[in-house]
Structure 1
Amino acid sequence: MIDLHCHILPGIDDGAKTMDESLQMARIAVADGIHTLACTPHIYPGMYMNDGPGIAHACARLQAELDRHGIALKLVVGADVHLVPGLIEGLKNGRVPTLHGSRYLLLEPSHTMPPPHLEASVFNLIVAGYTPIITHPERLTWVESHYPVFQQLIAQGAWMQVTAGALTGVFGKRAQYWGERFIGEGHAHLLATDAHSTGRRLPRLSEGLEVARRLVGDREASRLVTERPTAVLKNLSPEDFEPTQKEADRPSMIGRWFSKRRPSP
């Protein structure tokens, strides 16, 4: 499996604090069946002042330590990017890294309120040649009132990434419901760990993958952690890759099932 969202680099954001913790996270990932992992620290001006060259240096340093300790994990560069002014310019000049130098980037919206002009901002990124991957939409406090907006973003060309832990209840019943809904209704392209530590938010995909299998079957679940992440790392065009399985391809009763399970706000 491939994990395209992990805060494993030590001491540069709210993820791993030390090199020892990073190495332990890597061991957990490998034991879970992850062979390639994207190092994606936050880039958030005023809070996490990371940049492309610094992330690449930290990634190379951690890779050397993994190799020295015989941990069979391949690292690639990325970032968990916030929607701020000058983002497109930063992507073009390398200050903001995409995933493995591809057209794909992780885009993290505000957790507490919908960003103003979100659809226009995503559209501008796509026009500039990038494919934004919206991270953990199931965990945003405003997902209930904006679920159709995420579907519109997908129609524009954006991808959605659901957190594996959300599917197993790590973030509560509400995030679990919306994570299952994004997966079950065919609105998720990727499953990732968004791991930050060796504790509650650890780098493990397999348990969430089992939930995805129950919702969409083995073939589509495999696409979430293998085929589509591979397409990202190879910089394949989204148009050249098989789309998500749409709700219309499955029994219409799935929509009623989610309606009955919807948690109270």
Structure 2
Amino acid sequence: MFFSLQFYNEEEAKKYSQNSRMIEIQTQMSERAVELLNLPEGQPCFLLDVGCGSGLSGDYLSEEGHHWVGVDISTAMLDVALDREVEGDLIVGDMGHGMPFRPGTFDGCISISALQWLCNADKRTHSPPKRLYTFFSTLYSSLSRGSRAVFQLYPENSEQLELITTQAMKAGFSGGMVVDYPNSSKAKKFFLCLFAGVSGVLPKVRNTGGECILLLFHLCRFKNMKGKSAKKGRDWILEKKERRRRQGREVRDDTKYTGRQRRPHF
């Protein structure tokens, strides 16, 4: 977990990381998240673990032969990760402040039980939509084109899901939601699967131990609020230029003429 664990002291962080049930659940969710990343078989990748905590999900990444960087706001949890001598690199950071990495750094991203905390305004200065957009836009930039980000999360309601997916679309992502064991109140798990730059194919409905995996919805490219395509309009052009800036490309400065339609020549 990410934001909530900033309140854990060192003793509580150690108890969390030594709980056999927690370790089992974290490993299972990490395994599922990596499966949804659809990484090349037999090829080590460089992955980002957002809300890495004490490194339980990172342990699974290492077992699969991948290299990883973990980011978490809780110094107590990261101290436990250091004591456990995890193989990944660790960074203290608030995901709502954005991801401080160069464009195209990572081959994929996973996050276990962290994303929903950005929907909370724990300080007067916190704006959930702005924090979500800051996170998603900087994450989009740090991922290589065609890669994926998979978030296991616990949404409180449909409004929270809409808030999250709207900000992800504004940042340039496409993708969808996968629900494991939808008919079970205890085993149900939500996985938000985002595609960076290239749309991918989400898992089809299938049976797993008698339970179904359902595709709730599919995200489309961001459109304006009226439902009409904004392509080639001023807003579309400004959004595209901003996305290219985040990717480290050279872009002309914005002016009052940006996106203005030219008069036809006769």
TM over 0.5: no
The two structures have a TM-score, normalised by structure 2, of: 0.35
Relative to its length, the structure with more helix (as a share) is: 1
The two structures have a TM-score, normalised by structure 1, of: 0.35
Relative to its length, the structure with more strand (as a share) is: 2
